[in-house]
C-alpha cells in the first residue's frame, strides 16, 4: 500500500474511533510530516483523500477540520447493485425471480442510444425483486450483447454485476441516473403488488465501462411506498 494511503487509513481510524472527534483540528502538515516521517507532498495527498471522502475540510491559513460522523454514514453514493445494497441492510427476506432473459434486436432508438447499428443484438433481462414477501421492484435490463456476452438466467438470478466484473473481468466506471415517476403499466400491474397505487418510481440507469463504452440501460421500477434514495451532494 502506498505511504499516503497508510497515513490516510490511520487518520480515518482516529476519526472513527473518536481520537479525532468532529470539529477538532487535525495536526498541521508539518506535525504530520514528523509523526509519519513523510514529505509534505505525501501528507497532503493523504489529507486530500480524506477531504474527497468527506471526512475533513481544509481551510487555507486555518487548518484541517474533522466533519461530523453522521455525514459520513450517509455516504453510500456510487454504483451499488441490488444485491450489494440489500446484503448490507440485512434483516429482510429478499428474493429475485428472473422472468426472462432474451436476445432482441436493437431498434432505431436503442441503436442510437448505445451508438451501435440498428439490428445489433441486445440481451434483455426482466427480473422481479421480492422483499418480505411483497413484489416491490421490477427491473428491465438491456445489455449490448457483444460487450456483455454469455448472460444466462442463472447469472441473472445471482448478480450480473459480479459476473461482469469477475468473470468477464471488465471494470465498471460510472453510471448516469434518472429518477422520475411514471404511471404504472400493464406489466407493472402484472409483476408488482401495487396495492392500488397508480404510479411507480422509475430509475433509469445508464452504465459505462472504464473505457467509456456504454454497455447497459436498466429501468428499475419501484412501488411508490417502498422506494427511497439517498445521497450526498457537494458544493
Partner DNA sequence: AGATATTTGTACGTATGTATT
Partner DNA sequence: CAATACATACGTACAAATATC
The only residue of 12, 15, 20, 42 in contact with DNA, by rule CB under 7 A: 42
6 half-sphere exposure, CB direction, 13 A CA radius: 9
71 binds a second copy (CB under 8 A): yes
What's phi and psi for 43, nearest 5 deg?
A: -60, -45
101 binds DNA (CB under 7 A): no
Give the contact letters, 47-76, x = binds to DNA (CB under 7 A), - = no.
Answer: x----------xxxxxxx------------
Kindly report the number of other CB atoms within 10 A of residue 127's CB atom: 23
From the list a second copy, DNA, none, pick the one residue 177 interacts with, judged by a Cβ distance below 5 to 8 Å according to partner type.
Answer: a second copy
Q: Which grid coordinates belong to 40? A: 509534505
From the list a second copy, DNA, none, pick the one residue 193 interacts with, judged by a Cβ distance below 5 to 8 Å according to partner type.
Answer: none
Please count the residues of this chain forming the interface with DNA, following the rule CB under 7 A.
24
- Please say which residue, 26 or 142, places its beta carbon nearer to DNA: 26
Footprint (CB under 8 A) of a second copy, residues 101-140 = none
The only residue of 9, 30, 107, 182 in contact with DNA, by rule CB under 7 A: 30
Exposed/middle/buried for residue 117 (C-beta within 10 Å: 0-12, 13-18, 19+):
exposed
119 binds DNA (CB under 7 A): no
Which of 235, 169, 175 shows the shortest CA–CA distance to 208?
175
- The dihedral region occupied by 111, where left means phi > 0, alpha psi between -120 and 50, and beta the remainder, is alpha
39 binds DNA (CB under 7 A): yes
At a CB cut-off of 8 Å and minimum separation 6, what does 234 contact? Answer: 54
Nearest approach, Cβ of 63 to DNA (angstroms)?
4
CB 127 within 8 A of CB 139: yes
231 half-sphere exposure, CB direction, 13 A CA radius: 9
Binding positions for DNA, rule: CB under 7 A: 2-5, 26, 28-30, 37-42, 44-45, 47, 58-64
Q: Which residues bind a second copy (CB under 8 A)?
A: 22-23, 54, 57, 59, 65-68, 71, 74, 77-79, 171-181, 197-199, 201, 208, 210-212, 214, 224-225, 227-235
Amino acid at each position: 500500500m502506498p505511504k499516503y494511503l497508510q497515513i490516510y487509513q490511520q487518520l480515518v481510524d482516529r476519526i472513527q474511533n473518536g481520537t479525532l472527534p468532529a470539529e477538532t483540528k487535525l495536526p498541521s502538515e508539518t506535525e504530520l510530516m514528523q509523526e509519519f516521517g513523510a514529505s509534505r507532498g505525501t501528507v497532503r495527498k493523504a489529507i486530500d483523500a480524506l477531504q474527497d471522502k468527506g471526512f475533513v475540510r481544509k481551510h487555507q491559513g486555518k487548518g484541517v477540520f474533522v466533519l461530523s460522523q453522521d455525514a459520513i454514514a450517509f455516504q453510500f453514493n456510487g454504483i451499488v447493485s441490488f444485491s450489494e445494497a440489500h446484503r448490507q441492510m440485512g434483516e429482510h427476506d429478499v428474493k429475485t425471480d428472473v422472468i426472462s432473459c432474451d436476445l432482441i434486436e436493437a431498434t432505431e432508438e436503442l441503436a442510437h442510444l448505445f451508438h451501435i447499428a440498428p439490428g445489433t443484438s441486445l440481451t434483455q433481462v426482466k427480473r422481479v425483486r421480492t422483499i418480505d414477501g411483497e413484489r416491490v421492484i421490477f427491473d428491465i435490463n438491456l445489455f449490448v450483447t457483444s460487450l456483455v456476452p454469455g448472460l444466462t438466467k442463472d447469472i441473472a438470478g445471482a448478480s450480473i454485476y459480479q459476473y461482469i466484473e469477475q468473470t468477464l473481468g471488465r471494470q465498471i466506471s460510472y453510471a448516469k441516473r434518472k429518477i422520475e415517476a411514471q404511471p404504472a403499466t400493464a406489466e407493472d400491474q402484472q409483476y408488482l403488488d401495487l396495492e392500488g397505487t397508480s404510479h411507480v418510481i422509475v430509475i433509469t440507469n445508464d452504465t459505462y465501462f472504464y473505457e467509456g463504452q456504454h454497455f447497459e440501460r436498466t429501468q428499475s421500477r419501484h412501488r411508490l411506498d417502498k422506494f427511497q434514495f439517498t445521497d450526498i451532494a457537494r458544493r
